[in-house]
Structures are given as C-alpha cells and as structure tokens.
Amino acid sequence: MRDLELRTGVSREVIRVYLRHGLMPEPQRPKANVADYGEEHVRSVLAIRQLQKEKRLPLERIRRALDGDTDALPADASAFPHLDSLIAARAGVNDDQLPLASLAARNPHAEADARALASVGAIKLIEHPSGLQVSRIDAQLIGLWAEMRAAGFTEELGFTPDICRLHVEAAETLAHQELAIFLDRMVGRRQEDPTADMAQAALTHLLSFFGLVRLKTVLADLRKRSAS
C-alpha cells in the first residue's frame, strides 16, 4: 500500500474508499494481513483521479458508470482516454516490459519469432540499454506462435510467423471499424454513453462471436472441398 501511495500520490485512506466503491480490482492476498498491489491498481487509481479532477465526477457516478448506468458519464468523448485505463486495469492488461532474452528459456526461437512477428506488425520490439524488450501482451503473442510450432506448424513445412500477416491485417481492420461504430453510436447520445462494462463486454463477447463465425466458415469450406 505504501508503494501504491508513492506511485499515485493518493493516500491509502482514499485508495481504500476506491476499493469500497468497487472502482478497482481487489488486491491479491497471499496471507492474512498482506495485500499485494500491481500495475493495474496504479492505473486504476490514476484513472479515477483524472475522472474526478477533469470531469468533476463524484465516486458514486464513476461507480454507476462501471455498473452500466448510461446516465452516469458526460456525453462527450473526452472521457474515453480515462475509461480505457479503467478497462485495461479490469482486464488485467498492463504496459510492463520483459527482456526478450527472458523468453528463450521456454522458447529457443523467441528472438527469431519476435523479429518475424515484428516485421508483419504483430508486435513491437523495444530498444533498451540492456537489450530488446517486449510488452507482456507481445510476449503472449510470441508464446502463442511457439505453441503453433509445437502443434506441428514448423518452418520445415513452410509455416513461419509471416503467415500471421493476414491475421494482423484482419484484426486491425476489424478493430478500427468496431471502434468507429462504437463511437458513432455512443458519442453525443446521453442515454447511451459508453461505460467500462459495455466496452469490456464487447471485447469479450464479440471476440467469441468472431471466433465462432470463423470456425463455422472454416468447417463449411472444408466440407465443400471434401465434396468436390
């Protein structure tokens, strides 16, 4: 808690109020009287503070917005940068960076895979005095390709991370269009202002929706090919 106070400039009394209002994730409690806070708590506290100061929103209205009350937030789009911080925190996404070399223990191809994935825009390599680094999300993407290789998608069979280019382009196009539609429907319509819960639900459920449609299409295509 002391570290969280130092990182955010917010007192522990205020942070405990945020917790009581359900505005940030509960800390990990490995044992009695011990609470571990992470980067997601830092981002939550800072985002709540910004909404309070810049939008003059009381905690109760912020809580109502997170609970899905569409009247709780102002109608302009300027709250989005603060909401994305809250959404990221609730989703467990953080901006921590990992040394690329640290991935080699599990994946000896990590560096080569990372460079190939970076070349198609799937990840970003970050220059650091101690060596190349990647974000935690990008580390997950590198790990997913390692799992593909383990499943048989090897270079010997002609499968390289370069084939992810199609997925990167499709995902980016879809994400841009989704966001444009979301903003078009929500901004300026006070009764339907965006909330963190709505955005989180869209990220979760529409991803599953996309995956199932993709699965249906692949199966249907395979059946057509088998029949021909």
Q: What is the pLDDT of residues 149-195, one digit of tens each?
A: 999 999 999 999 999 999 999 998 888 788 777 766 665 444 334 45
On whether the CB atoms of residues 99 and 58 are closer than 8 A, the answer is no
3-state secondary structure of 98: strand
Total domains in the chain come to 2
Q: Examine residue 75 and state whether it is found in any structural domain, yes or no.
A: yes
Two structure tokens written together for 85: 């911080």
Q: What is the DSSP string of 106-169?
A: T-TTHHHHHHHHHHTTSS--B--TTS-EEEHHHHHHHHHHHHHHHTT--GGGT--GGGGHHHHH
Q: Does residue 126 sit in the same domain as residue 46?
A: no
Q: Examine residue 74 and state whether it is found in any structural domain, yes or no.
A: yes
3-state secondary structure of 11: coil
Q: Domain range for residue 103?
A: 97-168
Judged by average pLDDT, the poorest of 82-86, 103-107, 135-139 is: 82-86
Q: Examine residue 190 and state whether it is found in any structural domain, yes or no.
A: no
Q: What pLDDT was estimated at residue 178?
A: 81
Q: Examine residue 22 and state whether it is found in any structural domain, yes or no.
A: yes
Q: What is the pTM of this model?
A: 0.59
Query: Residue 2 above 80 pLDDT?
Result: yes
3-state secondary structure of 205: helix
Q: Which of 133, 168, 203 is the last residue of a domain?
A: 168
Q: Does residue 45 sit in the same domain as residue 86?
A: yes
Q: Examine residue 76 and state whether it is found in any structural domain, yes or no.
A: yes
Q: Does residue 58 sit in the same domain as residue 127?
A: no
What are the distances in angstroms from CA 190 to CA 61, 78, 166, 185?
Answer: 14, 14, 38, 11
Q: Examine residue 15 and state whether it is found in any structural domain, yes or no.
A: yes
Q: Examine residue 115 and state whether it is found in any structural domain, yes or no.
A: yes
Q: Examine residue 182 and state whether it is found in any structural domain, yes or no.
A: no
Using one digit for the tens of pLDDT, what is the confidence trace for 183-210?
666 654 443 344 566 777 787 888 888 8
